[in-house]
Chain A
Amino acid sequence: MSEPAVPTNGWRPSLKALTARGEVVALQSDGETTTYAQLAGRAEAIANALIDAGVQTGDHVALLSAGRGHDEAAGLLGVILAGGVVVPLHHGAPRAQIANVMRAANCRAIVHDEKSAAHVRDIGAPDPPLRVELDDEGFVLASLGVIADATGPPSPGIACILHTSGSTGMPKAVPMRWEGIDAFTSWMMKITRLEPRDRVLRVAELSFDLAWFDHLAAFRSGSTLLTMSRRQLSTARSIADQVRLLAPTVVYSVPSFFMRLCAGWPKHEALPNELHTICFAGEIFPPSELLALAHRAPNARLFNLFGPTETNVCTFHEVDRSSLDGQRETPIGTPAPYADCRLVDPSDPKILIEGVGTGELLVRGPTALGGECRTRDQVRRAEDGLFYFRGRLDRMVKIRGYRVDPSEVETALCTHPHVRQAAVIANEHPRFGMQLSAFVAADNEAKPESIRAHLSEHLPSYMAPQRLVLRTELPLTENGKVDYDALHPSG
């Protein structure tokens, strides 16, 4: 199958291609089915509502779905068909942060579901000027407002703007280009051998690059996208029930999702036979858990995909089942064909590390932000020629695949009027992975509830520390800096 060559822009979904899939099932969830013809019709109506109200090519349009129904895919396609740049909002983000993100990203409209209507209204007028509200199937319920002012400078070739944790106290905006999404999805379709009969399980939020594979690769290949609600995703058993019901053939998610799936699945029973490809990314898969997953899915090929949001996937490794012993580390492998990956000296990126050695991973290519990205990931090229992840050069950690810079949490804590100093450390819980503990030096009037409430106004829920410890002073090193080694999660 050959795709038309579109060198500058890259592939993107079109109404014609979606409509042509007709009665094939595009979206499926527990009790609900949407065909490609229906999805195309709903997306077209959303696009028309946006265009009629003044959205122009290149305008930034926010997308928010509290219910994670079929409205989310329809909204995504509607914005794309209208020529807009999608700005997915995180459902768990506080109103103040949503307002900040929308203002910083210059969003001129928001497409949202009925469930988030009250939340969106509370974001505060006059941002954004236009709201398009959908029901949970993706039909337009209401379109309120018009865009009267002149459109801003367009962002040519940008598909979406994702937001990830940064160190400044504000989420970091990461624009993704169509060219990069094209390179990534077409390659992923190859390695997952995606065909129209495939069923792709979508787990991640759209504000996360994993979900862009799920949606765009599924719609590009004409396969079925399977969705689960947040409620269904919240317990190991309900995850297992849904996987049994929906019978996915391809799943791309974080290791903790697969670990919960295995925990909820009946012991000594294999996962559905149809499941032929498992891709994981976002955090390290504990070797014993990866071995357990491999036993549960004897027919599936397993891929470790690697790369920060700023580069999308840049290296990959197909797991060799015979090498799994429950102890050995899984390599992050070799560069994806579109990514030029080099190791450089972190203190001087001009110094290249060739052959066996450890350095900072530098990525060039269509998926890399700005064409070239220093990842701050420390990577070793070993004797076997494969890359191995050796940790971060900064303090960033992964919590259930979500990236969190502890200094962003510290910055948020320090803006509380009674907090003088804050230190946030990450520690590993034996069953649930990484967690944050926050230590604050505060005056006598500070109350934990007030600090929690303050955090909830500034950070999304996944960044909220599990523990908050108030002290009069934090331990300091001889240099007068916070002594992180002297802080322990037990308090």
Chain B
Amino acid sequence: MANEKASASRDAIYEALHDHIQAEVLLRDEALGADEDLFDAGFDSMSLTRILVFVEERFGTVIPDEDVVLDEIETLKKLTDFVHGYVGQPS
């Protein structure tokens, strides 16, 4: 059950991040692939800040800037896992 709940909330995080990044960070029409490199897709040095603010406002979780490691956020899938580690704790 715990797994199910965690996976459900992971999906919710994935969806929220996908929509936010596509429409509000990368500002593009095409859907974003789970393994697409976000930096090749057009991330700049301010994009990550926008996402951390979004996560803070949507999920009420503060992720410190210094905790973010490049390898863990460079695709939507990895980013979702990373954010899930802070947000999606099954209670």
Interface residues on B, range: 20 to 34
**Inter-chain contacts of B52 with A (CB < 8 A):** 431-432
Do A260 and B65 touch (CB < 8 A)? Answer: yes
**Inter-chain contacts of B25 with A (CB < 8 A):** 461
With CB as the reference atom, state the residue of chain A lying closest to B62.
A431
CB of A40 within 8 Å of the partner chain: no
Do B49 and A264 touch (CB < 8 A)? Answer: no
**Inter-chain contacts of B31 with A (CB < 8 A):** none
**Inter-chain contacts of A429 with B (CB < 8 A):** 53
Select B45's contact among A234, A237, A456, beta carbons within 8 Å.
A234
Do A263 and B69 touch (CB < 8 A)? Answer: no
**Inter-chain contacts of B28 with A (CB < 8 A):** 456
Do A236 and B24 touch (CB < 8 A)? Answer: no
Q: How far is the CA of A381 from the CA of B39 in the complex (A)?
A: 45
Known A-B contacts A452-B27, A462-B46, A464-B24; the reply to A263 vs B64 at CB < 8 A is yes
Do B44 and A235 touch (CB < 8 A)? Answer: no
**Inter-chain contacts of A238 with B (CB < 8 A):** 70
* Dominant secondary structure of chain A at its interface with chain B: mixed
Do A230 and B43 touch (CB < 8 A)? Answer: yes
Which residues 40-59 of B sit at the A interface, judged by CB distance below 8 A?
Answer: 42-50, 52-54
Known A-B contacts A452-B24, A456-B27, A461-B44; the reply to A235 vs B68 at CB < 8 A is yes
Do B45 and A230 touch (CB < 8 A)? Answer: yes
CB of B34 within 8 Å of the partner chain: no
In the A-B complex, the 9 residue pairs with the smallest Cβ-Cβ separation, listed nearest first, are A456-B27, A233-B45, A263-B66, A236-B65, A231-B39, A235-B68, A236-B66, A234-B45, A432-B49
Given contacts A235-B69, A432-B49, A461-B46, 6 further A-B contacts (CB under 8 A): A236-B68, A448-B23, A449-B23, A455-B27, A461-B44, A464-B24
A–B complex contacts, Cβ < 8 Å, 19 sampled: A231-B43, A231-B74, A235-B70, A235-B73, A236-B68, A237-B70, A238-B70, A263-B64, A263-B65, A400-B45, A429-B53, A431-B52, A432-B53, A449-B23, A452-B23, A455-B27, A456-B28, A461-B46, A468-B24
